[in-house]
Amino acid sequence: MTRDWLNHFHPDERGFADKAEEWIERAAERHTVKVTDFLDPRQAEIVQSLANRYSGQAALHFNGGYPEAERKRAVLVPDYRDPEAEDAGITILAVTSADDRIASLDHGDYMGALLGLGIKREKVGDFHVRPDGCHVLVAAEIADFLNLQLRQVGRIHVLTDILPLNELQIVRTQLEEMTLSVASMRLDGIVSDVCRLSRAKAQLPIQAGRCRVNWKTEEDPSKPLKAGDTVSVQGFGRFRILSAEPTKKERFRVKVGKFI
């Protein structure tokens, strides 16, 4: 069977797309139920596009533990079943500490502690970091392991507990806003200004495949950006184009929000 449709995806995405197509095919033709690991928005977009090819045969639902979740698990079922009725296998790992220094921890600290236990990123959903701790959405199948093993984040001793989803304390994403005046909306130019790099140095991670626009690998430095785009550059963080307006001097006034 030809797999020419894979050519529509970036080479880095083809392995995932091939696997996703197999999940959907099994739900449609073998009547299986599949709950995936946590997917980023681009992976979810790929699964959705492939599931559309099996309309009337397979049904799909995304669940990240709460409606606005960025990372979500996909639930794939035969079309005669309701995917929303299936258990997506998501629970909360609550992390707290008697040490006041816990207020200094950020998303990266909690992520590093979990990955340091040998956990794959795909088993972990969104993080909700507060001054007194963190609620992490995790795959239910690893929750007990994390509850037993996670005892330190950074240099701070922590306690953990498993909570039901209805006890999730949502923390809205915080953005540090900055305004730029740029000659064009080229990717390398915006990255250069946001990350405080020269244009030449900004091109290096892009051309090396270490930059994503809307979670899709982008290797073209001249890629034009627009309002609403989310850009991540490995080693330099992530930002979102909040607005972009042309000025009278043939430039653009761009408002950017850097993820804190």
The CATH number of residue 190's host domain is: 3.10.290.10
Looking at the fold, whether 78 and 107 belong to one and the same domain comes out as no
Q: Which of 85, 106, 124 delimits the end of a domain?
A: 85
Give the pLDDT confidence score for residue 69 in this predicted structure: 97
C-alpha closest to that of 232 among 218, 211, 256: 211
C-alpha closest to that of 153 among 118, 112, 117: 112
Looking at the fold, whether 183 and 234 belong to one and the same domain comes out as yes
Q: Which of 45, 65, 85 delimits the end of a domain?
A: 85
Give the pLDDT confidence score for residue 174 in this predicted structure: 84
Give the pLDDT confidence score for residue 1 in this predicted structure: 43
C-alpha closest to that of 234 among 217, 220, 221: 217
Can you tell me the distance from the alpha carbon of 54 to that of 148, in angstroms, rounded to the nearest whole number?
A: 41
* pLDDT beneath 50, residues of the chain: 1-2
Number of domains in the chain: 3
Give the pLDDT confidence score for residue 33 in this predicted structure: 96
Containing structural domain, residue 242: 175-259
Looking at the fold, whether 94 and 68 belong to one and the same domain comes out as no
State the pTM of this model: 0.87
CATH of the domain at 115: 3.30.70.330
Give the pLDDT confidence score for residue 161 in this predicted structure: 98
Looking at the fold, whether 226 and 196 belong to one and the same domain comes out as yes
